[in-house]
Amino acid sequence: MNRRHVLDLDDFTADEIELVMQTTDAMKEVLARPIRRVPPLRGKTIVTLFYENSTRTRVSFELAAKNLSADVVNITASASSVTKGESLVDTIRTIQALGADVIVIRHSQAGAPYVVAQHLRGSVINAGDGWHAHPTQSLLDLYTIRERLGPVAGKSVVIVGDILHSRVARSNVWGMTRAGARVTLCGPATLMPPLGGDGLPPVTVDYDLDRALEGADVVMALRIQRERQTGGMLPSLREYVERYQLTPARLRRARPGALVMHPGPMNEGVEISPEVAYGAQSVIEDQVANGVAVRMALLYLLVGERTTELAAAPAPVGARR
């Protein structure tokens, strides 16, 4: 891959996305082995720097880096010198001086990973910045669809919920359309960003979920981000549930066997009913599991030592094989 950073999918070509998908296939094969550790990142240091909470993204990056034999340092901003007033740029300079090859950053401010990229000699991966982008989530979503349904091109994908505050929706609009899917965004008008003038590729917008779901191959419910709501955006949670919750009855409007996705964390009983979240069509746990392989693929493509290929790392002395 001819790039140093992964900041969003707006600058990814369809070929680059396909390269990530094929490399993820190889990483899934590594993960199926009895010993999952391979050497391509031996001697590299990966720093995860999280200014916002996370479970899936942070843990999967840590596992991904360790599976590739990297050294991993996890920094949570609330437990770092950030609380003493250190700026983002000073934090980055410090981490660089300590030898980071890759910084994986999550920040509440849109654009923060781009600032880091300007100050770091190594690579930056955006693990979510404000409402703006979450490219690695979109890549794992794409991989999960491809794994279950084959090529993403031509598939109809409905993304429903709080689109306005969703970095997952934005990156998925880029990623899914670049991969050839037809994307429909659905939700209340108050939670829909102005589209058309913001440079996003063309998508369909529908405020009626029952109509939007007709013939869908994939339905992705988004979390209602209560922490990002300001007054008046959500009429009432009860009304939202009535009109936009993904229920078994609504799901029957989609194609038989349509995939149910959710980036997590879920508000069960709000944007998605428990029957759908844990039902036969749900691939939500696959998304989480695929997150490790996709992030291994990205780390490998950005800074991996290709000459080592993906042969197993030598077992530590005394370890049983």
List contacts with ligand CP (CB under 6 A). 54-57, 128, 137, 263-265
The two three-digit tokens of residue 166, written as one number: 């969703």
Cα(224)–Cα(216) distance, rounded to whole angstroms? 22
Cα(70)–Cα(72) distance, rounded to whole angstroms? 6
CB of 164 to ligand CP, least distance (A): 17
| CA angle, residues 117, 118, 119, in degrees to nearest 5 | 90
The side-by-side arrangement of strands in the sheet containing 182-186 is: 204-206, 182-186, 156-160, 218-221, 259-261
CB of 236 to ligand CP, least distance (A): 26
CB of 313 to ligand CP, least distance (A): 27
Task: Provide the sign of the torsion angle of the four alpha carbons 148, 151, 152, 157, taken in this order.
Answer: negative
Task: Provide the sign of the torsion angle of the four alpha carbons 277, 297, 55, 245, taken in this order.
Answer: negative
Closest to ligand CP by CB, 23 or 57: 57
Closest to ligand CP by CB, 38 or 46: 46
Closest to ligand CP by CB, 26 or 288: 288
CB of 134 to ligand CP, least distance (A): 6
CB of 2 to ligand CP, least distance (A): 27
Closest to ligand CP by CB, 288 or 312: 288
Closest to ligand CP by CB, 38 or 145: 145
Task: Spell out the residues 6+ positions from residue 251 whose beta carbon is closer than 8 angstroms to its own.
Answer: 213, 219, 258, 260, 276, 279, 281
Task: Spell out the residues 6+ positions from residue 196 whose beta carbon is closer than 8 angstroms to its own.
Answer: 202
DSSP labels, 182-225: EEEEES-GGGS---SSSSPPP-EEES-HHHHHTT-SEEEE----
Closest to ligand CP by CB, 150 or 265: 265
Give SS3 for 73: strand
Task: Spell out the residues 6+ positions from residue 208 whose beta carbon is closer than 8 angstroms to its own.
Answer: 186
The H or E element that residue 156 is part of is: strand 156-160
Closest to ligand CP by CB, 55 or 81: 55
CB of 144 to ligand CP, least distance (A): 12
CB of 140 to ligand CP, least distance (A): 9
